[in-house]
Chain A
Amino acid sequence: MADISKFALLKTLFWFRKMKLNLFGVKSNSLFKKTLAIFGLMLTPIFLLAADDVVAPPTEFNPMAWDWSSILILVLAILIILVIARSFDIGSLTEKITGKTIVSWNNVNAWAGIIFLVVGLIGVWYEMKIHGKYLKLGDSASAHGETLDSMFYWTFGFTFFVFVVTEILLFYFMFKYKYDKNRKAAYFFHNNKLEIIWTIVPAIVLTFLVLRGFSTWTKITTDIDKNSEEIEVFAYQFGWKARYSGDDKQLGTANFNFISGTNPLGVAEDSAVSSLVNELNGEIKKLEIIKASIEDSSKLWKAQYDRYVSTGMSNSYPEEFKQMKSKYNDLISGAYERQLEKDIKRKNTAIKRIAAYQKDHETFNGTAKDDKITTEIVLVKNKPYIFKYRARDVIHSAYMPEFRAQMNCVPGMPTSFAFTPIKTTEEARASKNDPEFDFYLYCNKICGAAHYNMKIKITVVGSEAEYKTWLATQTPFVAPPAAPAAPTSPKADSTAVKQGTVVKN
């Protein structure tokens, strides 16, 4: 690193020296020098920053291991293409010599356009025929999805008509008006009547589509049944969890500060939060011990470092030495200590925030205890639902293509989407003729390495009874005490909670 920066500095100085000698041939133009200096200064830190972190090339330069057959095929294909192209050139050369036209490129291109048009339209038709069955149209599993599909059909009708007509016109004109040296093109600049027509007609069609879209959108987003059941859907890297309210029909509050290994959704429940505070205090203590012994450990690392250098192990184990060196550097430069301080501060902040919440009886109102956290979603046909979305770390998007539903899950901004399933899983299986079919909720916003496999199964059942049976198999967040006594006040809650076990998830 030091070598590189020294080199860069010398190089820059060298350039400055050179500039004085007017090598650029621009006399008295100090702007050049200033520009160069600015660029030099800007470049240096960026590349130095990057240079320290550049990936080592593949360990060995071993052409034997390369995929030579692929490379060869690639090169051959390119060569063949070029040869074909050049052969046409030879054609044009003979044209020049003999004076006869062999290839009239104007005709070739005009015909190619027509062929492209015909084959292309057949291709569009073929595509619709073979892939039409996979399209999720007219097959919506939710109530609002049907209005959305009809919106689609209207739009499709208009646009497909315009698409076919204009593309045909384009390639037809290309064919019809190809160059002819005996003809002269028409000379006109505009045509008011025509222009008014093709401004007004799209405007009318779009007005229709806008009004329809407006009413569909407004209905989907604002026309929500007051009796809808709320289910919380929680997104995290990389998975989903659902939370159903328990017997009290009320989802308990939740907060990201309460999230812990045993409380993955961060619901406001006394015992889980208290144990989190204890956990955090313990971690802080550990970190402080490490911080106190930092001087001793740097001595140890220094001894280790010296041993590596003196015995020549730094050369024989470069990877280990590199790792050790960076740790040692962190210790020496104080970066490690700063990181520890940061961690301690962050954990203290968390404890303070939790303490503030704990005083608030609206947050800790005891409704979270009986909430059920599940790893699949079960819905009842024809029952209205509101999905309440929360995200733990980054933005996710809850995408349910079968239900025509999608909403982003944004950290710090709860969102929701309301819909009513109108098809059970069994019905969908029957209509799709696929006994293994299942509804899924996918992630549809880029969120990290396993984004492509972040999904949760949705089962739609036909009756409330089936749903109740399933829900009964799910454990509540805090298992109720063996005694059937129902606690009434928050204080009684906390005592009851202490006996209960926290569900591990």
Chain B
Amino acid sequence: MSTAALHAEHDSHHHDHKESFISKYVFSMDHKMISRQFLITGIIMGLVGMGMSLLFRLQLAWPDEQFGILETLLGKWGKDGKIDPNFYMGLVTIHGTIMVFYVLTAGLSGTFSNLLIPLQLGARDMASPFMNMLSYWFFFLSSAVLLTSIFVETGPASAGWTVYPPLSALEKAVPGSGLGMTLWLVAIALFIVSSLLGGINYISTVLNMRTKGMSMNRMPLTIWAFFFTAILGVLSFPVLLGAALFLIFDRSFGTSFYLSDIYLEGVGALENIGGSPVLYQHLFWFLGHPEVYIILMPALGITSEVISTNARKPIFGYTAMIISLMGISILSFIVWGHHMFITGMNPFLGSVFMILTLIIAVPSAVKAFNYLATLWRGNLRFTPAMLFSIGLVSFFISGGLTGIYLGNAAMDIQLHDSYFVVAHFHLVMGSAAIFGMFAGIYHWFPKMFGKMMNNTLGYFHFWFTFISAYLVFFPMHFMGLAGVPRRYYQFTLVKEFDVWMDVNKLITIAAIMGGMAQVFFLWNFFYSIFKGKKATQNPWESNTLEWTTPVEGIHGNWPGEIPTVYRGPHEYSRPDRESDFFPQHLPDETAPVTAPQEGEQTAPTEVVPQETVESSVFFAAIKRVLGLS
């Protein structure tokens, strides 16, 4: 590729300078490099989060045992080989925070939105590469601050990942609410900045920078998912920033947004009056509920793409999938109250939230059925990515169904904050989203690093992780139904809960197995980056545009002109074609030759306009409203 050609091709916003180490690998503005940075930071954070979960699982399974290794690892928090109760809660809190925000929001959405939005839409880069770089570095800073908070003398934040005040506001109530909590709030504030910078970028790129012929209704479902995710993030994260800000004020400047009528042992009655701890919960869950879809939807988008490609079959119900995503997105903003049925809010309000919550089950069910219908009569290639996608569908079903129990206010009285909840969300948004992330990594690794990952290790990784995830989370349903509360430091003191000790041991052993299974992945991932087999141009024989770019991943993505798009992304196994895929950028040469079989639709034959066409007046209107056109 000559520099001149590049220059002629893309206009002013790309420079053809020779990049130094720092501008190429550190403060990079190339979306592919930023996605790699997000991914690797996410993996490291994920390891920390997983390690923490193993530590507290050890405590839950063998509360009376002493592990010398804990003292080595944790110092004063692991005196005599036992985890300190305060640090146990710190572990629970930081595990939740890391997994929800740093791994499954930034690690998943940050990686794949950055990688795929420009590549699958046919853009040279993001709308604002500079903002994109800032987004990563704010995320990095935020991660650094959060990890620092683990090492402060009074311990990390330990009020649960939801950090409900007054516990999180009063240093005297729990030591972790001192400096640890301050750092947590700083980290989250930085994280929100990062997430907003990213989200605005994704939205504007999707709306403005699609290539010729890439109308909205020809976008791969991944992009639709990222698009809705970004909108959710942009609308809901500022509310969390507000909530965090009020909490900072309450903690440091003596305001009473969340505090009222409090007497503390050793201090006396506090002056704060008139605030409400429940206000925080409303603000938090106004983000918190969309947040679970921010986590899940990119995983669903990735799964749609991977399943369609590897089933060699068009995704079933493309439009239905988009409408479901849209429905889920809209509904997710008006159901936050189902996290608060038993806070003492008006029972009628509880009923309203219950009805709205259970409505979400309908679009979710449609999505699950659509995945099944896509597999039906397909020709399935079991790449590791495909297996992880199938695993996601399995988790999505088994975890999603228990949402019907918890969304029901009456049953929530019994199940709230029990292990049933732990089982539910770890399956449906924890495991499912992580599996979506793994599917994405295995599928787009050739695009990210130009190398192939080892399939055999991938299969091992999948089956061990899949089995251990079910072994860990499935028995928890039963514990929850028996009324075992979550976030307990040990269960041996209560006879009713002590009968579950054998299950707790099983869960811990399965969790350790799951943790070990990640060695397959880590080895495979880092080894393949350097020593992996060189990737071919289109290793999965996929239709989408990213596979038309050079394997090396050049700055500006395509050496010459950006390809034009002629059809939707899922035209696999078209009866009129010999090969079982038909890339989006190849023009139609001939009309279909073979007659369509019964019950099957004819391939679209309409002439594709060469110019970019807005899919509908609707999106044009959105663009005008946003001032983007």
A212 to chain B, nearest CB (A): 8
Give the complex CA separation of A447 and B603 in angstroms: 61
B113 CB contacts on chain A under 8 angstroms: none
Q: Is A94 an interface residue (CB 8 A)?
A: no
A178 CB contacts on chain B under 8 angstroms: 380, 382
Task: Pick from B69-77, B217-225, B230-238 the stretch touching chain A.
Answer: B69-77
Q: Is A127 an interface residue (CB 8 A)?
A: yes
Give the complex CA separation of A146 and B460 in angstroms: 46
B456 CB contacts on chain A under 8 angstroms: 85, 88-89, 92, 105
Size bracket of the A interface: 35 or more
A317 CB contacts on chain B under 8 angstroms: none
B597 to chain A, nearest CB (A): 8
**Is A151 a contact of B149 with CB atoms below 8 Å?**
no
**Is A412 a contact of B261 with CB atoms below 8 Å?**
yes
B61 to chain A, nearest CB (A): 15
Within 8 A of B (CB), among A133-167: 134-137, 145, 147-148, 151-152, 155, 158-159, 162-163, 166-167
Residue from the list B75, B276, B358, B398 in contact with A206, Cβ < 8 A:
B358
B409 CB contacts on chain A under 8 angstroms: 213, 217
**Is A448 a contact of B173 with CB atoms below 8 Å?**
yes
A120 CB contacts on chain B under 8 angstroms: 470
Give the complex CA separation of A375 and B410 in angstroms: 29
A311 CB contacts on chain B under 8 angstroms: none
B512 to chain A, nearest CB (A): 9
Q: Is A185 an interface residue (CB 8 A)?
A: yes
**Is A50 a contact of B183 with CB atoms below 8 Å?**
yes
Q: Is A305 an interface residue (CB 8 A)?
A: no
Nearest A residue to B167 by beta-carbon distance? Answer: A394
**Is A217 a contact of B347 with CB atoms below 8 Å?**
yes
Q: Is B343 an interface residue (CB 8 A)?
A: yes
Q: Mark B456-475, 1 if CB is under 8 A from A, else 0.
A: 11011001001100100011
Q: Is B13 an interface residue (CB 8 A)?
A: no
B387 to chain A, nearest CB (A): 6
Number of interface residues of B (CB under 8 A): 159
Task: Pick from A4-12, A343-351, A466-474 the stretch touching chain B.
Answer: A343-351
Residue from the list B18, B72, B463 in contact with A112, Cβ < 8 A:
B463
**Is A26 a contact of B347 with CB atoms below 8 Å?**
no
A298 CB contacts on chain B under 8 angstroms: none
**Is A81 a contact of B408 with CB atoms below 8 Å?**
no
A478 to chain B, nearest CB (A): 21
Q: Is A451 an interface residue (CB 8 A)?
A: yes
Query: Which among B183, B358, B470 has the highest number of chain A CB atoms within 10 Å?
Result: B358
Nearest A residue to B89 by beta-carbon distance? Answer: A446
**Is B411 a contact of A148 with CB atoms below 8 Å?**
yes
Q: Is A125 an interface residue (CB 8 A)?
A: no
**Is B263 a contact of A177 with CB atoms below 8 Å?**
no
Give the complex CA separation of A401 and B408 in angstroms: 17
**Is A399 a contact of B485 with CB atoms below 8 Å?**
yes
Residue from the list B271, B344, B410 in contact with A213, Cβ < 8 A:
B410
A interface list, Cβ under 8 A from B: 23-27, 31-32, 35-36, 39, 42-43, 46-47, 49-50, 53-58, 65-67, 70-71, 77-78, 81-82, 84-85, 88-89, 92, 105-106, 108-110, 112-113, 116, 120, 123-124, 127-128, 131, 134-137, 145, 147-148, 151-152, 155, 158-159, 162-163, 166-167, 169-170, 173-174, 177-180, 183-191, 194-195, 198-199, 202-203, 206, 209-210, 213-214, 216-218, 220-222, 236-237, 255-257, 259, 266, 280, 345-347, 349-350, 353, 389, 392-395, 397, 399, 401-402, 404-408, 410-413, 415-416, 436, 440, 442-453, 455
Subset of 18 A-B contacts with CB under 8 Å: A25-B22, A55-B76, A88-B460, A120-B470, A123-B474, A127-B475, A174-B380, A185-B311, A185-B313, A185-B572, A186-B376, A190-B317, A217-B351, A217-B354, A222-B347, A280-B268, A401-B496, A412-B259
